[in-house]
Amino acid sequence: MLSNIRIIETRVNWLFKKLNMSTTSIYFITKVIPLSNYGEILNSTFSLTKNKVRTSVSKITVNDITYTAQKDICNCLNDYFCDVGKNLASGIPYQLHDFTKYCHVPNNNSMFCTAASTAEILQIISSFKDNKAPGPDNVAPKLLKLISTDVIEPLAYIFNLSFSSGQVPLSL
């Protein structure tokens, strides 16, 4: 008897994987329908062959009550699947929590940037392509390369001041 149950359970698990059934369906079939009904229900409901044969479930047992009428069987399935969300939600204990207690205290100094060196800025300016259009500041990359030795110190000062204060200037 125990080996038959294991065979049926193995077959049911294989069928569920093949059919991609939802977890609520698996829960319903494994908890509500007793093991004695597995084979009959699965064999009569699911067909993995190309020949689709329309059959019906002759009986179903829910909470130790056996239903044989098609209308009662449909009502049992509808009652379960229509109330799945409500029943699951009612099983979760309600606790009013303030979400802010899960948030950490903000830290204004949480981002640290090392100071930009003039050599680093010069390397970035040198990597600009000459044939590209100017940006929103209307300074062409070729022009910026030509005047880089004159503007490198002020740019380094502005960049480092922005990093240390955490503010970006709106315009220069």
Q: What is the pLDDT of residues 118-161, one digit of tens each?
A: 999 999 999 999 888 888 888 899 999 999 999 999 999 988 88
pLDDT tens profile 18-66: 555 455 555 555 555 555 555 555 555 555 555 666 666 778 888 888 8
Distances (CA, A) of 12 to 71, 118, 152: 25, 69, 72
The radius of gyration of the chain's CA atoms, rounded to the nearest angstrom, is 35
Backbone angles phi, psi at 62, to 5 degrees: -130, 125
Least trusted range by pLDDT, from 9-18, 63-72, 78-87:
9-18
Return the ∠ at Cα 26 (arms to 47 and 58), rounded to 5°: 50
